[in-house]
Chain A
Amino acid sequence: MDVFTAAEEIMENALVSVLSYRTQSGRISSHPMLPLYSRERKKLYMTSSILFSKKAEHIKKNPKVGVLFSGRQFIKLPSYSALHLKGDARVIEDDLHDGWSWLVELWRKKEPYIESFIKQRVALPLFWERVIIEITPREMLLWKNGVLRNEPLRWKA
């Protein structure tokens, strides 16, 4: 299996990832995020509530981001590899209210009960006003079995 195909499997099956971006002060800020990979579009998506929107503001100013998929128990695959992705992000904020709803199909695979929460958006209205972070992969590093002492396998766009 080539690196890209292996990466697609990991992105599709990881429950959590860590998104890193550069802040205005030049530091790296990192946050656990739910990764939603679209095979059809070959892009990685994340959605973020406007309640936690600082990251969107930073990414709009500096769209170069990194996403790590790691943690054996977070990736539902028979064999474990850790994956790092360098990508160019685009913050989509045209329709905060519903613009992310097409992602629910991917979201459901990670959180099967998500729609029951969405139905109760009246309870947390601001949480369900969301931006989409669309990430186009540029480079990927894959550590087989998560072993860091071995050189990672690489893929470049």
Chain B
Amino acid sequence: MTTEISLEEYSDIVVSYLDDDGYPVSYSTTARMEDGKLVVEKPAGLNPKKQMTVVLNHITPLPTGGYTDRRYVTMIGEAEIRDDTVVFKPAKTYGWNEKTKPFFQYCEENVPQAKQYLSNLSKALGREIKARLPTSQLLFRATRFPFLTATAGPVLVGVGSAAYLGFFDPILFLLTIIGASLIHLALNMTNDYFDAKLGADEANITPTPFSGGSRIIQYGLLTPKQVAGMATLFYVVGIVIGLYLAIQRGLVPILAVMGLGVFISYAYTAPPFKLAYRGLGEIAVGIGFGPIVVLGSHYVQTQFFSIEALLASIPVGIMIALILYVNEIPDSPYDAAAGKRTLVTRLSKESVIKLYKALLTASYVSVVIPVVLGFSPPTALMVLLTIPKAVKTVKLVRETYGSPYLMIPALASNVQVATNTGFLLAAGFFLWAAINFLL
């Protein structure tokens, strides 16, 4: 391997050996390669030993302070000591270069080392030592809280389409959004619990803020039992709110919609259904966050299902499904290895992009058609303002496909397109309702 190492890439070469007193001694030296061996200086006053370690180290100091561009190679081997030089033959080489292995991946690969350390320390101290986070940060991470925008959008569209038809009750709206959000948080935690159990998240060494799960189980921040407990709590409170709304506004329709929503959220990852593992996750999410949430929210307000709400749920469902779809791209090698056969694992890169473009187009078309047919107000066309960002996102996804960390801006942009679509569609309905109310 040493023949592959370019010494010029490193700014410091450090030779270390064990001195007679049992302490390591190191010195910085110049070096050159000769037949796969490293020829280094022999300093005055020191007596290098046969067993030796050489570190090639580099950082680029920043003018503002600190540094970047870290890389190092450690070589362990034997040396032949000559009069004024040392000829070193490496036997074992390891190191890190942040250009080829991003820091986050480097950290993720070492999670087993951290867990082993905590386990050893716990044994030595006779009490459990765990990694921890402040409660607010732990809940933020465990529940994947920012993804609640994926629930807020559809609820707002359902309530907005009701307002468009002349119905709006702010208390019912609040109860709906809280109940739906709790079911969403339960879904996220159920997903983490079963993905950990089935090995999909464990195998993932390049998680991003948008993919690879919350990692709270993998990092030992919560036990699987605690995660299952929290998911159950969210489900129970969410269902209780749903039951209240059902009793108040329509038992059978609301129970049917909520039951289907809860079932999809659980069956998404949980055995025996494992919809996400069978290539049905995207459709399930599209239906769950589209028609189910939109129609449910609409019904709570109006006590009937309407064609307006059903049509409005289509672009929303597609967009939320696209959040999942694009977020699956960085996970796909690990998902495939763990037998999680998501849609992305089944398609080639070109097919993934083509389907992405087709679904984005379908989403925008499904906004325009109801306006043309008179089922949505003209103000709903504000959604089309997201098209330039959607086009840019497709380009970003294509350019960074397969590089999990480089994909992060593309993943973020995709989430923004989807959430903005939901919010603008809802705003279109509310705006038209407000205009009608005022006029």
Contact = CB atoms under 8 A, between A and B. Distances in A.
A126 B107 contact: yes
A123 B209 contact: yes
A122 B133 contact: yes
B74 interface: yes
A50 interface: yes
B23 A68 contact: no
B26 A122 contact: no
Given A66-B24, A123-B209, A138-B23, A20 B111 contact: no
B7 to A, nearest CB: 14
B400 interface: no
Given A51-B113, A124-B104, A28 B52 contact: yes
Given A22-B24, A124-B104, A150-B44, A71 B12 contact: yes
Given A15-B59, A74-B12, A148 B23 contact: no
Interface residues of A, number: 61
Contacts of B45: 151-152
A101 to B, nearest CB: 13
Interface in A138-155: 138-139, 141, 143, 146, 148-152
Contacts, number: 183
A135 to B, nearest CB: 11
B67 interface: yes
A113 B117 CA distance: 28
B386 to A, nearest CB: 27
B374 to A, nearest CB: 48
A68 B61 contact: no
B423 interface: no
B41 A53 contact: no
Interface string A86-118: 110000010011000000000000111110000
B353 interface: no
Q: Which of B22, B43, B141 has the most CB of A within 10 A?
A: B43
Given A16-B67, A73-B11, A148 B29 contact: yes
B53 interface: yes
- Of the four ranges (under 10, 10 to 19, 20 to 34, 35 or more), the interface on chain B belongs to 35 or more
A1 B132 CA distance: 46
Given A71-B57, A96-B129, A122-B133, A84 B51 contact: no
A150 B46 CA distance: 11
Contacts of A30: 14, 16, 24, 26, 53, 55, 74
A50 B114 contact: yes
Contacts of B118: 50, 129
B221 interface: yes
Given A28-B52, A126-B107, A20 B26 contact: yes
A38 interface: no
B72 interface: yes
Contacts of B133: 121-122, 125
Contact of B66 (A20, A22, A53, A110): A110
A129 B118 CA distance: 10
A74 B11 contact: yes
A42 interface: no
Contacts of B52: 28
Interface string B52-65: 11010101010011
A10 interface: no
A96 B132 CA distance: 9
Contacts of B110: 51-52
A28 B53 contact: yes
Nearest to B64: A112
B219 interface: yes
18 contacts: A31-B74, A32-B55, A32-B70, A53-B114, A68-B28, A70-B12, A73-B61, A74-B61, A86-B21, A110-B65, A112-B65, A121-B133, A125-B131, A126-B114, A141-B25, A141-B46, A151-B44, A152-B45
Given A73-B61, A148-B41, 6 more contacts: A15-B67, A21-B24, A50-B113, A74-B12, A82-B27, A113-B66
Interface of B: 11-12, 14, 16-19, 21-29, 41-46, 51-53, 55, 57, 59, 61, 64-67, 70, 72, 74, 76, 104, 107, 110-111, 113-114, 116-118, 120-121, 129, 131-133, 137, 140-141, 209, 219, 221
